[in-house]
Amino acid sequence: MKKRIQLSDHFTYGRLIRFVLPSIMMMIFTSIYGAIDGLFVSQFAGKEAFTAVNLIMPFAMLPGAFGFMLGTGGSAVVAKTLGEGKKERANEYFSMMVYTSIVGGIVLTVAGILTVPLAARAFGARDGMLDACVVYGRILFAALPLFILQNIFQSFLVTAEKPSFGLAVTVAAGFTNVVLDYLFVAVFQWGIEGAGIATGISQAVGAVIPLVYFIRKNDSLLHLTRPVFYGRTLWKACLNGSSELMTNISMSLVNILYNYQLMRFIGEDGVAAYGVIMYVNFFFVAVFIGYSIGTAPIVSFHYGAGNQQELRGIFSKSNVLMVGCGLAMVLLALGLSGPLAHVFVGYDVALMELTRHGFAIYSLSFAVMGMNIYGSAFFTALGDGLVSALISFLRTLVFQLASVLVLPVFFKADGIWMAVVISEVLALSVTVMLLFKKRSTYHYF
């Protein structure tokens, strides 16, 4: 039996990959939720229902950024505190993050349920599509506290040195979603409501199992304690996780703008094609995000412990892995663009070809995307939330908004698919510049 890898270990390539692999798989299985919903809705509820899901999804996912913020920002604070040898204080910080996420999730649920109809109308939904958007959106908002808890535990299970347990929980949640989607949508013919209910129940699995684990006595580095409020620490965690908050908010806002532009240039088929591209994109991006989540506690721990040599090793190995993985993903995506489009919308030849063409262009962004995602997460792990947020703000909002507004003027619909490629290239120049600028502060090379 292999010895459990600890944050304090020296990380070779092999040990690093072994430690982060569960986090990568965890993110891949998390991405199954939306993809399975979309697949079953597209095949069994029709193109209008599928378009409705894609239209309201960015708005429904927007508040989930709260969980990503507390998870990534809070885990960096907790891991650094563990590295300083303050285990009890680290557990108090961890507990505060979890309790705060529950309260915040309830507040956001109420606000979301009330505003879904307004948002759907603003996005252009009318008649039957409007009703479908409202129903699906309200079901997702009802499960929002569970979604937020699931997000925060994905980060903290890695910090607790339990990435494999986190993977097992996520696989269980993903399997639940697949089975229930089949039953509710394909067998019972509940349509869009069945897809939303299946997602909500699967999120309950991903939230409740870790919650029970941390409440009970366990052999990990973390456990839930009595509530203790540390206002400055909470603010620091929120500030530190602001890049992830910005990333997720920006993604939702940008997706809304993408849908608007596609409705202008192509129509409903454009929104449906973009929805498929987003579902497929999640599987590829999950590798970059999972790797960043998996390495973040290692970086935070060794930074807190003052181990600069190990910090340099993690940084250099990560750069090599991100570049190699990005290039491999481009080749894989180009080869799979046709088959993946067929799986989702093979019933409509024109829509399938539109989807294949759009994804072939979009997938070029994978060559540099990993470096940008890791660069932002790396600064979060070092506790430099402002630099991390700057990278995310420019990458996911400013550059993408500018690209998706300007490029279609010259390249029509292809300009929309190209927007993410241009924005990632621009973001890479910023990421590299900031890494060089901050090297003397954190000594990672």
In the chain, % helix, strand, coil (3-state, to 5) comes to 85, 0, 15
Q: Is residue 3 part of a domain?
A: no
Q: Is residue 6 part of a domain?
A: no
Q: Is residue 382 part of a domain?
A: yes
**Eight-state DSSP code of residue 163:** H
Distance CA(269)–CA(358), nearest Å, equals: 12
Cβ-contact 397, 253 below 8 angstroms: yes
Residue written as token pair 């929805």: 275
Residue 187: what residue type?
V
CA 247 to chain centre: 9
**What's the confidence (pLDDT) of residue 370?**
94
Residue written as token pair 């930074």: 303
DSSP codes of every residue in 8-47: TS---HHHHHHHHHHHHHHHHHHHHHHHHHHHHHHHHT-H
Q: Is residue 97 part of a domain?
A: yes
Cβ-contact 144, 112 below 8 angstroms: yes
Count the neighbouring beta carbons within 10 Å of the beta carbon of residue 153. Answer: 28
Nearest by Cα to 243 from 68, 389, 344: 389
Residue 199: what residue type?
T
Residue written as token pair 């029509």: 412
Distance CA(391)–CA(208), nearest Å, equals: 33
pLDDT in tens, 35-66: 777 778 878 877 778 788 878 887 887 888 78
**What's the confidence (pLDDT) of residue 3?**
66
**What's the confidence (pLDDT) of residue 397?**
86
Q: Is residue 90 part of a domain?
A: yes
CA 157 to chain centre: 16
Axis-axis angle for helices 413-437, 366-381 (nearest 10): 40
Q: Is residue 1 part of a domain?
A: no
Q: Is residue 280 part of a domain?
A: yes
Nearest by Cα to 66 from 95, 27, 107: 107
The token pair that represents 99 in the structure block? 């309790």
Q: Which residues of the chain have pLDDT under 70?
A: 1-3, 33-34, 243
Distance CA(154)–CA(199), nearest Å, equals: 17
Distance CA(90)–CA(304), nearest Å, equals: 12
- Residue 374 to residues 92, 157, 343, 388, 400: CA-CA distances in angstroms? 28, 19, 31, 10, 18
CA dihedral 199, 285, 113, 133 (to 10 degrees): -80
CA 30 to chain centre: 8
**What's the confidence (pLDDT) of residue 33?**
65
Q: What is the pTM of this model?
A: 0.77
Question: What backbone torsions phi and psi does residue 430 show, to the nearest 5 degrees?
Answer: -70, -45
Nearest by Cα to 358 from 289, 279, 424, 287: 279
**What's the confidence (pLDDT) of residue 247?**
73
Distance CA(289)–CA(285), nearest Å, equals: 6
**What's the confidence (pLDDT) of residue 1?**
46
Q: Is residue 429 part of a domain?
A: yes
Cβ-contact 76, 158 below 8 angstroms: no
pLDDT in tens, 132-191: 999 999 999 999 999 999 989 988 998 898 988 988 998 898 889 889 999 999 899 998
Domain that residue 241 falls in: 13-442
Cβ-contact 166, 158 below 8 angstroms: yes
How many domains does the chain divide into?
1
Count the neighbouring beta carbons within 10 Å of the beta carbon of residue 282. Answer: 18
- Residue 372 to residues 25, 100, 145, 318: CA-CA distances in angstroms? 20, 29, 29, 12
Cβ-contact 358, 277 below 8 angstroms: yes
**What's the confidence (pLDDT) of residue 254?**
84
